[in-house]
Copies of this chain bind each other. A is one copy, B any other.
C-alpha cells in the first residue's frame, strides 16, 4: 500500500453502471516525509476520507474487494486513514 493525500474530487455522470454511487477522490501519492511523488490519481473511497487527510490505498486487483455487492471497475481504492507513521530510517 502507498500513502497519499486527498486533494480533490471527480464527477462523472456518464460512466459504467457498476460505478454508480461510488465516491471517487483525487489523491496525490506522497512519501513518508510527505513529499509528492508522481501524479495524482483517482481512487474509490470506502472509508470516508476528507480533503487534506493522509490515507493509504491499494492498487490493482485488491481494489475491487471493498465493493462487494458490485463488481467494481476500479483499480485504486482508499482503505485507511493514517493516524501515525513511525519511520526509523
Query: Nearest Cβ in chain B — how far from A23, in angstroms?
Result: 13
Q: How large is the interface on A (under 10, 10 to 19, 20 to 34, 35 or more residues)?
A: 35 or more
**Highest count of chain B CB atoms <10 Å: which of A10, A43, A51:** A10
A15 nearest in chain B by CB position: B80
Copies in the complex: 5
Contact flag A41-B1 (CB < 8 Å), given A14-B81, A59-B75, A74-B58: yes
User: Is the pair B80, A12 in contact by a Cβ cutoff of 8 Å?
Assistant: yes
Within 8 A of B (CB), among A21-64: 24, 26, 28, 31-32, 37, 39-43, 46-48, 51-52, 56, 58-64
| A42 and chain B: residue at smallest CB distance | B1
Are A84 and B11 neighbours in the complex by a CB distance under 8 Å?
yes
Give A contacts to B, CB under 8 Å: 1-3, 5, 7-16, 18-19, 24, 26, 28, 31-32, 37, 39-43, 46-48, 51-52, 56, 58-66, 71-77, 79-89
